[in-house]
Amino acid sequence: MAKDNKKEDLMEKVVSLCKRRGFVYPGSEIYGGMAGMYDFGPYGVELLNNIKSAWWKEHIRNRENYFGLDSAMFKDPRVWEASGHTSGFSDPLSECKKCNTRIRVDKELEKIGVRANEKMSEAELNTLFSENKINIKCPKCGAGDFTPVRAFNLLVKTNMGDFTGKGESPVYLPGEACQGIYLNFKNVIDTTRAKIPFGIAQIGKAFRNEISPRNFLFRTREMEQADTQYFVRPHENKEAYEKIKQDRLDWYIKMGIKPENLRFKQHENLVFYASDAWDIEYNFPSYGFDELEGIHDRTDYDLTQHMKYSGTDLNYTDPQTGEKYIPWILETSVGLGRMFLAFISEAYTEEKLDDETRIVLKFSRELAPIKIAVFPLLKNKPELVEKAREVYKMLKEEFRTEWDDNGNIGKRYRRQDEIGTPYCITFDFDSLEDKAVTVRERDSMAQERVKIDSLRDFFKNKFNT
Ligand code: GAP
């Protein structure tokens, strides 16, 4: 892919702003950092929570036939045998003989225009790699001498509940969050009025021993996935699949992503559980269009496997006709980190103002981490501070509001612009007389005077609460 300098620059700017303004910190930073791990700071966690609740609202609150779930991370190890992850969930790994850098062979082949199939055996991958090795150089030291390819399983093993110290019966961290939905499919039907077609939605953690975590939050070893699984009658998948794909694309646009930065891409290489798979791709900074969300037609693969391995009947019985069948499943799955990166990149804006550049995160009002900031004009005037704090306290009960009295008003505006706060309120000397404050809107920078008495309704209207 041709490098786009402007976009590469944008990635650097986004990463730097995330650190500078308390959105994202490198994991275990004081120990030198840990590859593929990030911590979300005070504004990052607000943004993350807002993304989650917007997603939840879309799939649970706005729909009648979707049900929520939060399943335990640790599961019986047989779950991962049944799902196919202990045998089929691997990436092809090779190591540079000179500097021991590990490479993901399929990704290195892709860079030189050669495609490795997901279903290739280790031997087939070795043949393909040997044929093309001459054109592949170690990304770290530039040497071209590599170890044979081995299929490296991505599941993360733990010793949870194993007191032998021998590590003989590992319990795995979830390789994908959705397995908990299949395990509870019967429970949900038995305890709700769910009738096919219906969906189950869940946000849960997943862990993968990624060979080369990269691109900030794009490929990490610990992630959170927002999943929906929609259960349909066998062979009634096509129409529902198209609708689900379109609904997901429309949601991103509704949440503020420009349509030209989104596209669909069908998978040529299908992962072991899917009969059809499409990605929604986003035009990420620095590396361009890549997978944001996966939408998979999993047919009856998962429930059939779990029925076989657990011995539990997972057939659905139609309450009207008495017909029994294993439902087919349509899945949507997106990493919270990738959504976070997409939303923050999309929001990042630089504007020239006279001789300075204003950096502003133009988040939708729903996603903005802080909704309102309240400033006293001067922090050393107790009469202003006292009354301004009353305004702050009144608003913070209903809206995520921040108190800011540091530096001059201009500096406070810049700081709030950089974290994407839609409204700033200044309480000045006139406020003591006219019982009104100045409200400044982030994007237009327009200011208006609003009576303190009507502030709550003013913002209720703005934030649709
Ligand atoms: N349950 C299906 C599943 O896990 P996937 O395509 O492997 O499918 C779904 O993952 C989504 O999870 C991806 O589209 C991406 O948004 C996110 N994801 C996958 N691996 C990731 C990683 N290493 N780091 C961050 N996000 C990841």
CA of 444 to the centre of ligand 1 (A): 37
Ligand 1: does its nearest atom lie under 6 Å from the Cβ of 210?
Answer: yes
Nearest CA to ligand 1 atom 4: 176
Q: If you average pLDDT over residues 406-411, what whole number do you get?
A: 94
Kindly report whether the global pTM for this prediction surpasses the value 0.85: yes
In the predicted structure, residue 160 carries a pLDDT above the cut 70? yes
Contact indicator for 293, 58 with CB cutoff of 8 Å: no
User: Structure tokens of 418?
Assistant: 């950089």
Is the CB of 223 within 6 Å of ligand 1? yes
Residue 270: what pLDDT?
Answer: 85
Beta carbons within 10 angstroms of residue 296's beta carbon: 24
Q: Which residue's C-alpha comes closest to atom 24 of ligand 1?
A: 219
- Decide if pLDDT at 395 tops 90: yes
- Which residue minimizes the CA distance to atom 25 of ligand 1? 219
Q: Closest Cα to atom 7, ligand 1: which residue?
A: 176
Q: Which ligand 1 atom lies nearest to the CA of residue 279?
A: 14
CA distance 38 to 46: 15
Residue among 37, 203, 214, 225 whose CB has most ligand 1 atoms within 8 A, to mutate: 225
Q: pLDDT at residue 5 above 80?
A: no
pLDDT digits (tens, 9 = 90+) for 40-54: 999 999 999 999 999
Cβ(344) – ligand 1 distance below 6 Å? no
Element at 341 (helix H, strand E): helix 336-347
Ligand 1 atom nearest to 293, measured from its CA: 14
59 close to ligand 1 (CB < 6 Angstrom):
no
Residue 208 CA, closest ligand 1 atom number: 23
pLDDT score, position 6: 61
pLDDT at 1 over 60: no
Q: What share of the chain in percent tops pLDDT 70?
A: 98
For atom 6 of ligand 1, which residue has the closest CA? Answer: 294
Asked if 286 contacts 7 with a C-beta cutoff of 8 angstroms, the reply is yes
- Span 289-341, pLDDT tens digits: 999 999 999 999 999 999 999 999 999 999 999 999 999 999 999 999 999 99
Q: Does any ligand 1 atom lie closer than 6 A to the CB of residue 293?
A: yes
> Which of 163, 158, 200 shows the shortest CA–CA distance to 73?
158
Residue that the structure tokens 């200044």 belong to: 426
Residue nearest to atom 21 of ligand 1 (CA): 219
pLDDT confidence tier of residue 4, bands split at 50, 70 and 90: low
Nearest to 187 by CA among 302, 312, 103: 312
* Strand ranges inside 138-275, DSSP E: 150-153, 157-158, 171-172, 198-207, 222-232, 262-266
Looking at every residue in the chain, the average pLDDT score rounds to: 95
Digit-coded pLDDT (tens) for 225-277 = 999 999 999 999 999 999 999 999 999 999 999 999 999 999 988 888 888 99
Q: Is residue 136 in contact with ligand 1, taking CB distance under 6 Å?
A: no
Expressed in angstroms and rounded, the spacing between residue 62 Cα and the centre of ligand 1 is 25
2 pLDDT band (50/70/90 cuts)?
Answer: very low
* Range of weakest confidence among 24-38, 76-90, 109-123, 402-416: 109-123
The residues, any chain, with a CB within 8 Å of residue 302's CB and separated by 6 or more, are 83, 179, 182, 273, 329
Q: Is 338 in the pocket of ligand 1 (CB under 6 A)?
A: yes
Confidence bin at 463 (pLDDT 50/70/90): very high
Structure-token pair, residue 300 = 């009856």
For 169-217, write each residue's pLDDT tens digit: 899 999 999 999 999 999 999 999 899 999 999 999 999 999 989 899 9
Q: Which long-range contacts (CB under 8 A, 24 or more apart) does 272-275 make?
A: 272/84, 272/88, 272/89, 272/118, 272/119, 273/83, 273/84, 273/298, 273/301, 273/302, 274/298, 274/301, 275/299, 275/301
Q: What pLDDT, on a 0 to 100 scale, did the predictor assign at position 120?
A: 86
The ligand 1 atom nearest the CA atom of 176 = 4
Confidence of residue 354 (pLDDT cuts 50, 70, 90): confident
Q: What is the per-residue pLDDT for 349?
A: 97
- 360-383 pLDDT, tens digit each: 999 999 999 999 999 999 999 999
Q: pLDDT confidence of 399, banded at 50, 70, 90? A: very high
Q: Is the CB of 220 under 6 A from ligand 1?
A: yes
What does the DSSP assignment read for 10-58? Answer: HHHHHHHHHHHTTSEEETTGGGT--TT-EEE-HHHHHHHHHHHHHHHII
How does pLDDT run across 185-197, given as a tens digit for each residue? Answer: 999 999 998 999 9
Here the tokens at position 404 are 């800011």
Tokens for 23? 């959105």
pLDDT value at residue 155: 97
Q: Which residues of 137-149 are buried (b: 16+ CB within 10 A; e: fewer)?
A: bbeeeeeeebeeb
Each residue's pLDDT tens digit, 378-392: 999 999 999 999 999
Is the beta carbon of 360 within 6 A of some atom in ligand 1? no
CA–centroid distance, 175 to ligand 1, in Å, is 9
